[in-house]
Amino acid sequence: MNVLYLLSEWPTPTNAGARVHDKLMLKCLTEQFGADVAYWSYRAGPDSYERAKSLKIMPFHDYRSWDLPLTLARLLVKGEPLPTSQFLSVAARRELRDLVERTRPDVIVLSCVELAVTLPLLRELSSAKLVVDIHDLQGLRYESILRACKPWQVSKRVKHELLMRSCNIIEHEHYRFADVAWALKQEDADILLTFGSVSEVHVVPNVVDPEGLPQQLNFDDPSSGLPVTAVYLGNYSGAPNEQCALRLLQLFSQPAIRDSGLKLNLIGMHPTSAMRRAAAALPNVTIHGTVDRLADYLIPIDAIFVAPLDAGGGVKRKVLEGMMHGCPMLTTEIGAEGLELSHGKNALVVPADEMEGPLLKLITDRSERHRIAKSGYAHVMRRFGYGRLLDAVTESMRKLAK
């Protein structure tokens, strides 16, 4: 089977959740199916890839100063999703046509919802089966972010309203040109089918990155010798992660948490000015930004991963990351979505505003941290190893070949 894989951008940095999924999909499709690879990006990427037969760079989101208002007008007046004017330019159409003619794919896989704006053109250019790897239902994700935004956050509300409209158009209209959509969890698959825009959805989940696995964890070690800490990991340019971090900062300003001596480490790209302002008066909080080694902060048993998420979609890779490093997980139902977690067994799943009590208990009870961390680690290794992604993609390709 000849596969063409179209990426929205080269999957770097590799610690961003969506980019890890793309990286593992790239590994799967090139190693198992010898896929050709093309990608669009702001940044220059590699001229070749060791397991790809070809690579092509095309313009994407390269707006000139007058393109943005034109594109927004098309969204609001004509109901055309973002991006349109630059992405489907004459040059981009020509390059895409040449790529399809050269590679002659049996299956074309699009890496995200934004690339689905090419589906009508791809349907004209090729008889290949068309697959959209949706990551999550972006329209619903932006809607959840809107609900979580404060009334005075006007710019954020406008931004996510526009993104929600664009993704709704793609998910309800453009997906009809696809043969199959790949969703991260069954719940998203069921919802997508109600849209009526795609007739078949296969579950292809987020999984553990085998290259990011720590060395074999020793849960029988009586103590790490390190103080108990709390940790959260995210890309804070995304509204759900910033809101989660601000909620954590509020939690760590509470007297009982301050008096416990527990330290919070906030790790990840693009910490915001609002986070830094809120953390300035909190000596028990450190904002690290990106770090070289997650294993220095995600300490088995003795680093409690606290994720009071109340917005977002899909399957939260940050939660997988914490559990695969052996951290006891304290999160919400939003954070646990799609991970098949059992409250009290392999994680503690509580409302975002009820985390103080469970966190205080975990600080003082190492046996409880040990039990939850060990069970959580076993769960993600068993249910979300790389082999599950490989099996899901292989099975989907088998169905497409019928």
Block residue for tokens 């994680």: 347
Whether the per-residue pLDDT at 43 is higher than 70: the answer is: no
How distant, in Å, are the alpha carbons of 60, 309, 320, 341, 342 from that of 350? 41, 10, 17, 12, 11
199-225: average pLDDT: 82
Q: Tens digits of per-residue pLDDT, 136-145?
A: 888 888 888 8
Pairwise CA distance, residues 36 & 363, whole Å: 50
119-131: average pLDDT: 94
Q: Tens digits of per-residue pLDDT, 386-396?
A: 999 999 999 99
pLDDT at 273: 93
More confident call, 182 vs 114? 182
pLDDT classification of 349: cutoffs 50, 70, 90: very high
Pairwise CA distance, residues 348 & 247, whole Å: 17
Instruction: Name residue 215's amino acid.
Output: Q
CATH architecture of 211-383: 3-Layer(aba) Sandwich (3.40)
What are the domain boundaries of the chain?
3-207+386-400, 211-383
The DSSP bridge partners found for residue 109 are 5, 131
More confident call, 380 vs 41? 380
CATH architecture of 3-207+386-400: 3-Layer(aba) Sandwich (3.40)
The DSSP bridge partners found for residue 4 are 36, 108
Tell me, yes or no, if the pTM score tops 0.85. no
Whether the per-residue pLDDT at 400 is higher than 90: the answer is: yes
Whether the per-residue pLDDT at 131 is higher than 70: the answer is: yes
Q: Do domains 3-207+386-400 and 211-383 have the same CATH topology?
A: yes
Q: Which of 291, 52, 19 is nearest to 135 (CA)?
A: 19
